[in-house]
Structures are given as structure tokens and as C-alpha cells.
Structure 1
Amino acid sequence: MAKLQIRGKDLRKIGYPETPVVSVAIGVMEQYYKRHSLEAALQILKDIMLTPADYLEDPVLGKVAKAFLPEKEEGVEYSLNRDGVPFSIFGAGDIGEGALHQMYLAAKLPVAVAGALMPDAHSGYGLPIGGVLATDNAVIPYGVGVDIGCRMCLSVFDIPAGDLDRKESLFTRELEAATLFGSGAQFKEAEDHPIMDRKTFQEIRLLRSLHARAWKQLGTSGSGNHFVEFGWVEVNQWDPVLKLDPGCYVGLLSHSGSRSLGANIANYYTRLARSKRRLPQEVNHLAWLSLDEEEGMEYWTAMNLAGDYASACHEVIHTRIASSLGRKPMRTVENHHNFAWREIHEGKAVIVHRKGATPAGKDVLGIIPGSMTAPGFIVKGRGVPASISSAAHGAGRRMSRSQAMASISEHAFKEELAKSGVRLIGGGLDEAPFAYKDIETVMRAQQGLVDVVGTFRPRIVRMDG
């Protein structure tokens, strides 16, 4: 077998940023994995990129994972507060020690004002997934995360519900024709959309360098838990905010974010933040930028552009499919997670970071999905201060990707899909339903935070792979 050879463009295709991590990854794989196929090596590197925290302790692959971290640079040194700000925990019995520990540390940051941990919480990078942190005039790039503006979008169509079964092949073809998945996926011809004409792309040097690739990725979806799926939307009673008559409809639900644009923004500005503020090792990736300084306002501008870009990606997908179906949606519901907002909390102006958490202000609509076989929920927020007007963003993982791959059999996976009547296009064992918490348990733990105004049941699911 020929020795492994990886090129920089191979890594860029799967989403690697233009940083030293590219040369580190090539060196590690060609030295220690030289008998692997290119495909197998790239899959390993993709897994590291998606969850670097899972590989930090690995004596070999840890070198690549650590290269995703910004270099430690000199700056003003800060210590954690002895006592962290108090934070509410919802569904504590189902949240692992890792996520709790990460939240306790974040609550001790000098800029922390308030926090909350959602019932779908699990360990992440920076803030835990499901972590909410309010800060005083400061934004934490890794408190937002690399997939800036990751988003849910639901289009509800007045199509007979039975058509999903009767015309399964038609809806399957629509998903296959209108979507493109993968960390490095991009179209050969760029989609036309006003977002790409934003002046912001030309006003910030980093964004200028990312513009061409962002345009070719517009309307694509990532890997991991990103999906586009058809299913049934059920509404049991009229709600004045949702404004849908009771009934069963065909729905199109998508979940994805800002692609390589968001990842590059996150890594670049985290590097800047760490160069200005040195924190203890266990929280050094939670360095912040003040919104009184140029770098902080520049990140804020870039973050908001990435959020709008993520929204545009969903708009392209939904418009394309709606056009093919010859229908316009009766109703569209969408919401960000992995974002930071200016809000008022208990009378104080704060920056609220929601890392894998759904905005749940009073009467704010959102979507909380389950797994590929479990129902999702259309919710209306109650604006509860204890949760900083937030709710879970999904079921939440109970197994890491590597644990799922090692413990779930292909037979059990296919059996579960058949039992649930779900057709899967792509997807893998790392996203099997068994890898996720029970969405019904998650919803019970936050019944005081949101009201359920509709449900979504998956029928045809498209994912990477």
C-alpha cells in the first residue's frame, strides 16, 4: 500500500481553517497514520475538527486538537473570582459532571453576571452545550462557538399529510436534489442572495478573505447533527402567536449554521481575545473582548453577519424546495442558537451567550428537535428570568460520537429506523437515536420555560454521509 499523502486542499475541503492546524494535521497523519487510506485519515481529522475537546488527551491526535486552540500570547493576566455568579440548573439529574464543571468555571469569570444550564446540557468546548451566560459589556467568541448562528428553520406547507407516505420517492428526490452536506461541501456555482452583497464583507479584512468560499457554501449544510428533513407538523389548538389552524401538515425542518465562515471568525477572534487577556489554563479559551474596544465591536459585527449568513443558508434551501414543490409555506418558524444578544436581565443591560440554547423570551417562537426518530416541538417562550429567557436546543447527547460508534450496532440502528417509519438518507451511527437523551424528559424539565404549541415528527431525514 502506498504511503499516505495529504494536501492542504484536502483539509480545506473538509472545513479546516487557514491556520497552522493544517500543517500540524498533515505532519501527524503522515507520520503516525501513513498506512491509512486518504478517506480514513480525513474522517479522523474531520472528527477532531468537530469535537477537538474529545482528543486533547490523546498522545498523538491531541497535537492536532491543540492546534485548533489559539496560541497563548502575552496580555493582561486575570484570575477567576473565588465565588461564581449563581446559575439555575434545569434537569440536573440528567446532566453530566463535565458540563456542570464547565458551567461552574464560566460563572467565575470576572465579566460574568448570570448563568443557566439547560436540560439538554453536555460537555462542549468553551461553554458547555446548553450553557447560557450573561456578561457585562463583554463578548466571548468561544462562548458563542465555532458554528455561529447555528439555526433551526421550519416551513409548514398546506400539503395533505398522507402525501409523505404516498409520494415518499418524490419528497426523497427533493431532499437529495436541493441539499448538499459535508464540512467542506460547496457548490460549483454560487447561489444568488443579497447577503453576499453586504458591505461588511469588504470592510473587515478577515471577512474579505472568506467571502468567495462563503458564497460557494451558501445553501449547504454541515456534517454531524445537521439535517434537512420532511415530517408531519401537528397543531392541536389555535395559538395567537403561531397562527396555524389545528390540523396535520407537511413540514420541512432544517438545522445547520454558518459553515466555514463562522468557524474562521470564531478561531480568529478567540486568538485576539487570548492575546489581550490571559486566563487560568482551565478557562483560557473563554477569553473575552470588551464591546468598548475595536476588536470587540469588530467581532460583534462579524458574528452578526455570520448569523444572517446562516439564516440565508436556510432561506436558500427552503426556497429551492418550496419552488420544486410548487408551494409557498403557510408559516415559517426559525431561531438561532450559538449566538450572543444584547438583552436586559433583571434591569441590567447584558450580553447573553446561548451556546446550544434556544431564545425563549415572552411569546418568542422556537423549534426544539429530538433525534432523527423522536418528535420535535414548536415552542413559545415564557421569558423566565431564572433561565435568562432560554430553553434547550434539542435532546442533547448522552454519548460522545466515538462512544456511539463503538457501542451501537448497524442492525439496532436500522431496526430503530424501521420501527419509527423513518427513511434516512446519509447519517451514521454517531447520530443514531440511542446517542441522544430522551426528548420527552428534556421537555418535562423545562415545562415552566416554554409552552408547546405544535409538534414535528420526522419522516424523511437527510444528513451527511
Structure 2
Amino acid sequence: MGKKLSGRDLIHMGFPKNNSVNIALGQIQRYKKKDTKERILKEAKEILVAPGNFIGHPIWGKVAEQLVNPIKVEMQALRANRVPFQVFGENEIDELAKRQLYDALKLPVAVRGALMPDAHGGYGLPIGGVLATDNAVIPYGVGVDIGCRMSMSIFDIPATYLKGRTYQLRNWLAEHTKFGMVETHKIKHEHEVLDRPEFREIPLLKSLHNKAYKQLGTSGGGNHFVEFGIVKLDRVHPEWHVEPGEYLALLSHSGSRGLGAAIARHYTYLATKQCPLPKQVQHLAWLDLNRHDGQEYWLAMQLAGDYAQACHEDIHRRMAKLLGSRSRVTIANHHNFAWKEIVDGRECVVHRKGATPAGAGVLGIIPGSMTAPGFIVEGLGNERSLQSASHGAGRLLSRAQCKSQITKSEFSATLKSHDVELIGGAVDEAPMAYKDIRKVMQLQSELVQVLGTFFPKVVRMDK
């Protein structure tokens, strides 16, 4: 079997005594366990003779790349000074989040950065951190939940529909939405994203296809939710076919589930091996977009983002069918992703980890908490924020602090006072855990303008 093959076999064949041997052994162990030693050696010989023919190959591309253009692995030194940056709402942001951004601004690949008013500490980039880099993508700059996003459907149903129907809406959410690691839909819907070639061509994604199929249309744990509420439209976008007023709406928040988490883990591991960094910034290891792994991560990230979108589409389709209505307005945006955008006159990779795209005219949703309003916004294209805004209110208390400081009775009383029905949810997601969303919105008035307001009424979260 392939696992019996050793580095000596490859060196005896003619492989140079460098990292190409380790890379080859790693790929063999990961993807060629079921092949015979003879077959693997035959393929290895073909790569050694003509490595250029294997550049871009899903399994052997990394080996061929190392033979043609070896990666020089060496400790990366941070710059002495930070690249330009802007912090919005500095007095409302904890020191950990600021320090994490300041460290990221010293990366050799950093170009510019920003911190949103809802920011708090995370891994790699802080939550609410935005970082532009030069031809490099940082898996933990995107985050574990790749493509985590907001999605809203506004129905041509008056807000008064909610009166007397709370129990019905509660049952629909309880029965037709699925959360966490275990719950999946009994009747699964097909989606074209599952037929994407990346699932066949990238070995890691091929191994995740079945999980992606099972989890389609489900939501994660933590702060993810699906909720019915009332949306009040103060301004109407030219593309919307509704009048200003109050309507029934559905809002969901979730990401790419196990697919995105596995992608994040895998490529973060590869980044840390190729890009050693000082201990305090090791989660900021990056992948070069000119190299095999960087290009492969970019494809996998795009797929995870599209998969997250597909999950929301499935959720909203199910709820619309139960309502017997179609969405008149759909608004959605990622807030854990990376984009290629022009910064300071050149193309950069802009990471938004817990930040909403806010380019000029770009629509988005910034939620509050389960009792605080969320806002439909239009970006103003502010370059100082790298055309970004907050992705929510931001945490005020950690999960541990919530469990020690907030009682279940206080939690229930707050929900009752705001006339909100909750299914699932724990005290670590209590409204008191979050900053004042209205204050956060004031601190970013130069980043977005508000078009409408959403008030949660029936909320479903993980149990």
C-alpha cells in the first residue's frame, strides 16, 4: 500500500533532497492510501520527469510546483511600523481587538486596515477587523465560518399579519429549520451548488461533499438564527418593487457549516507550515495567491461562500412556501470573506472578518440582537473603512461572563418586555450580551445610510 512508501524511495528515484519529498509524502498519505506502492512510484516518476505537466493538478500540483519553483520556508519578520489604518468607535472597542489589528498591520503583506465599531477579540484578525493584503489570503483573516452571511426576505404581507399568528410562525420555525451539529432536514432539496466541479476536482472538497449535502439548508449554533419580524422601510431602493411601509420579513444568519470549517482548518494548517510567524501572530499565516495552495483555497472559499448562500436560499424557500407567498425584496451579504478590490490604486485582497461590505450603493443588513432592531443599509463607499461597516452590534460580554452574570429569569423578562418569542437560545446570546446597536450605527454614520429597520418577533436559535 501507498503508506509503506518512504522518502528514501523518492530520493532513490531522483527527487531532490528538499521539501518536495515531504510534500509528496504528505499528499500520498492524504490522498493515495489505497493505491499500491508500484502505482504511486510510477506516477511520481512521471512528475519528476515532466513536472510542468502537473502544475495545477489537484493532488500532484503541489509536488510539481515545488520541483519547478521551490517554496523557501523561513520565519517571517513583522514590520517595525503599521500600515495606514482607521478605527471607528475606538472608545467602544476592547483592547484585545485593537492589539490584534495592530499586529496584523505589521505583516509584510499588509497594505491597509480598519476596525469597525462592533469589534471584539477573535482568532487571527479580530471580529470586526478589515485588512487589505498584497496578493496573499489569510484563512483566519476570513474566519472559520467562511461566507457567514445575513439574508432577508421581505414579503408583500402587511406587518399586521403577525397579530394572532405568533403560535403558527413559532411552529413553522420549530419544525422546518434545523440548527447545530446534529439536526438535518428529512426531506432534502437539491441545489446546483452541490454539482460544482470543485467538489470533484479538489480532493478535500470531494471528501466533504456528503456532509455539505446533508447540511444544506441548516444553520449553525452560537449566534446564528432564523427569525420572523416586522420590517419598516423608510426609503425604497430603485430596484425594489414595494412602497415605503411595514411588512412581514424573514431574517437569517448563518454560514457554510461543516464545509467552511473544514476548509478553514485545512488551509490554515498549510499556511502555518509555509509561513512561520512569531507566536503572537501565528494565526495570521497567509497563502500566496501565486502558489498552488493559495489558488486552491481561493476556489474553496468561493465555493463555501456560494454554499452558505444556498443554505439561506433553502431556508427562505421553505418558509415562503409555508407562508404561501414570494419574497418581493431579497437582501443579503457575506461578512466573513475575502474579496479582490482596488485599494490605494492597486488590486488587493480585502479580508472582512465580521464586517459588512459597504461600497457605494451596496446593500446590506446589520442586525442588533433578538430584542434590538437590525438595519437595512446602503454603503457610502468610504475608503477610510476599506468600504466596510460593522456586521452587527458586537459583543459586550463574553459567553463565560453571560453565564455568570445573566440569570434565566432576567433573560426571559427581557424577551417578554419586547414581545419576542424565542425557540432555543441560551443566556450567552441574551440581548444584554451585546452593545447598543443604535450607538454602533451612530458611530458608522459616515459608512452607511439606513433604508429600513427590522424588529425581531419570533426567533429560532440552536437549543
TM-score class, shorter-chain normalisation, is: 0.7 to 0.9
What's the CA shift for 1:188? Answer: 4.6
1:321 aligns with one of 319, 322, 332: 319
Residues 31-180 of structure 1 aligned to structure 2 (within 5 Å): 75-180=73-178
Contact 2:178–2:184 (8 Å) recurs in 1: yes
Within 5 Å, give how 1:194-343 maps onto structure 2. Answer: 194-240=192-238, 242=240, 244-343=242-341
Q: CA deviation at 1:411?
A: 1.1
Measured after TM superposition, the shift of residue 168 of structure 1 is: 1.1
User: Cα deviation per residue 1:47-92 (whole Å; 9 max; x = unaligned)?
Assistant: xxxxxxxxxxxxxxxxxxxxxxxxxxx9321011000112100011
1:416 aligns with 2:414: yes
In the alignment, the residues of structure 1 paired with residue 358 and residue 395 of structure 2 have an alpha-carbon distance, to the nearest angstrom, of: 21
Deviations 1:5-34 (Å, cap 9, x if unpaired)?
xxxxxxxxxxxxxxxxxxxxxxxxxxxxxx
Q: What one-letter code is carried by the residue in structure 1 that aligns with 2:318?
A: R
1:377 touches 1:456 (CA, 8 Å); kept in 2? yes
The separation in 2 between residues aligned to 1:120 and 1:130, in whole angstroms, is 6
Indicate conservation of the 8 Å contact 1:242/1:365, yes or no.
no
8 Å CA contact 1:341–1:351 kept in 2: the answer is yes
C-alpha contact (below 8 Å) 2:156/2:328 kept by paired residues: yes
The residue type equivalent to 1:219 in the other structure is G
What letter corresponds to residue 158 of structure 1 in structure 2? D
Shift of 1:345: 1.4
What is the rounded CA distance, in whole Å, between the counterparts of 1:75 and 1:184 in structure 2? 40
Instruction: Letter of the 2:192 partner, please give it.
Output: P
Shift of 1:189: 4.9
Deviation at 1:204, TM superposition (A): 0.3
Tell me how many residue pairs correspond in the alignment: 392
The range that moved more, 232-241 or 146-155, is 232-241
Q: What residue is the counterpart of 1:357 in the other structure?
A: 355
CA contact (8 A) 2:361 2:379 kept: yes
Contact 1:75 1:274 (C-alpha < 8 Å) held by counterparts: no
Aligned equivalents of 2:180, 2:87: Cα separation in 1:
34
Q: Counterpart in 2 of 1:33?
A: none
The structure number with the bigger radius of gyration is: 2
- How far off its partner does 1:422 sit? 0.3
| Identity %, equivalent residues | 58
For 2:36, the equivalent position in structure 1 comes to none
CA positional deviation for 1:346: 2.3
What amino acid does structure 2 have at the position aligned with 1:207? L
Q: Is the CA contact 1:235–1:244 (under 8 Å) kept in the aligned structure 2?
A: no
| Structure 1 counterpart SS, 2:126 | strand
Give per-residue Cα distances to partners, 1:116-169, cap 9 Å, x unaligned. 000000001110000000000000001001100001000000112112122111
Q: Give the secondary structure class of the aligned counterpart of 2:178.
A: coil
Deviation at 1:244? 3.5
Two-structure CA RMSD over aligned residues (Å): 1.1
| Aligned residue number for residue 390 of structure 2 | 392
Q: Offset of 1:243 from its aligned partner?
A: 5.3
Q: Contact 1:188–1:216 (CA<8 Å) still a contact in 2?
A: no
How many Å separate the matches in 2 of 1:134 and 1:237? 32
Asked if structure 1 preserves the Cα contact closer than 8 Å seen for 2:241 and 2:328, the reply is no
User: Is there any run of 5+ residues in structure 2 with no aligned partner, and where?
Assistant: 1-71
Relative to the length of structure 1, the TM-score reads 0.83
- Structure 2 counterpart of 1:286, one-letter code: L
Contact 2:240/2:328, CA 8 A, preserved across alignment = no
Instruction: Give the counterpart letter for 2:274 in structure 1.
Output: K
Whether contact under 8 Å (2:136, 2:286) holds in the other structure is yes
Structure-2 separation of matches of 1:280 and 1:397? 28
